[in-house]
Amino acid sequence: MIEARNITKRFESGDSVLLALNDVSFKVESGEFVAITGRSGSGKSTLMYQLGLLDHPSSGEIYIDGEKVTEMETDELTKIRLNSLGYVFQDYALIPELTALENVLIPLLMQGLSQEAAKEKAVASLSRIGLADRTDHLPSQLSGGQQQRVSIARAVAHNPKIIFADEPTANLDSESSALVLKNFLELNKEGQTILMVTHEPEYAKMAHRVITLADGKILSDIRNR
């Protein structure tokens, strides 16, 4: 489904070279819920950016459904992000002047859905995570937890092959965090592939599989259960 082969990400500043990712290889199968953990600075976010096609690895290759996506043109990558990937950012990353519904609508409209079809899908996506009554609120009128759930609704509305979530609960209180996690688990149960970075061992335990990074390398890759 998605595969990293010998991914290395090198940061150079002056003479010093930092290997944020050092020859990382692994494969995520369709329907998996993978948690990525590790100390601060171990390379978790860097890994997400490479797999999420927001950045280019220094070396190594990434395959999505067997297709090599590294070295593709910017436009093509944008299209893959639109059609196959979904993102949940730590700080929600909603567009402030768009309502919850509109935020969820934009990728659908970009995909070419008609206004009505897109709206139907967006409303369904928001309802699925319990925000049916908040569709016309602006992000500033929503709580952090609600904003993060809008962000999840946006990430899944177009049925991506995989969702990337980098510490989606870092800015939330425990109650909101639990709700967000519950949403993820439900989505996963419906077949959604999820790759989530988390610091919380308790949340990592809920995933099928926990990959632990240390100094840019995979320290362990454990299946739960």
Partner 1 sequence: MSILRPKRFKHLGRSLSLGWFLAYRQVRRSSPFTTGLIVFVMTLTFLNLVVVRGVLVGLIQGSTDVYKKYYAGDIIISSLPKKDYIENSSNIVNIVAGLPWTESYSPRYIQGGSVEAEYKIKLRQTDSPNSAGGLVEGIDPVKEDQTTHLSNKVVEGSYLTSSDSDSILIGANMLKKYTNVDVPGLTLLERVNIGDRVRVTVGDTVREMTVKGFIQTKTDVDQRIVMLDSTMRNLIGRGDYNVDEIAVKLKPKTDVFLVKNALLQSGVGNTARVQTADEALPSFLIDIKNTFGLLGNVVGSIGLVVASITIFIVIFINAITRRKYIGILKGIGINSTAIEFAYVLQSVFYALLGIMFGMLILYGFLVPFVTAHPIKFPFSDGILVAELSSTLIRAGLLMIATLIAGYIPARIVVKQNTLDAILGRN
Residues found near ligand ATP in the complex (CB under 6 A): 11, 18, 20, 38, 40-46
Nearer to ligand ATP, 9 or 119 (CB): 9
**171 part of the interface to Mg ion, by CB under 5 A:** no
* Tokens at 59, concatenated: 């070396």
User: Which range of residues in 43-51, 72-80, 101-109, 123-131 is near Mg ion by CB under 5 A?
Assistant: 43-51
User: Which range of residues in 44-52, 101-109, 135-143, 203-211 is near Mg ion by CB under 5 A?
Assistant: 44-52
174 burial (CB, 10 Å; 0-12 / 13-18 / 19+) is exposed
* Tokens at 94, concatenated: 């909603």
Nearer to partner 1, 126 or 207 (CB): 126
- Which uninterrupted H or E stretch holds 22? strand 16-28
3 state DSSP class of 144? helix
**109 part of the interface to partner 1, by CB under 8 A:** yes
Q: DSSP strand E in 83-171: where?
A: 85-88, 162-166
* Tokens at 184, concatenated: 């993820």
The edge-to-edge listing of strands for the beta sheet with 2-13 is: 16-28, 2-13, 59-64, 67-68
User: Which range of residues in 19-27, 98-106, 119-127, 211-219 is near partner 1 by CB under 8 A?
Assistant: 98-106
User: Where does this chain bind partner 1 (CB under 8 A)?
Assistant: 49, 54-55, 75, 78-83, 85-87, 89, 93, 95-98, 102, 105-107, 109-110, 112, 138, 154-155
User: Where does this chain bind Mg ion (CB under 5 A)?
Assistant: 45
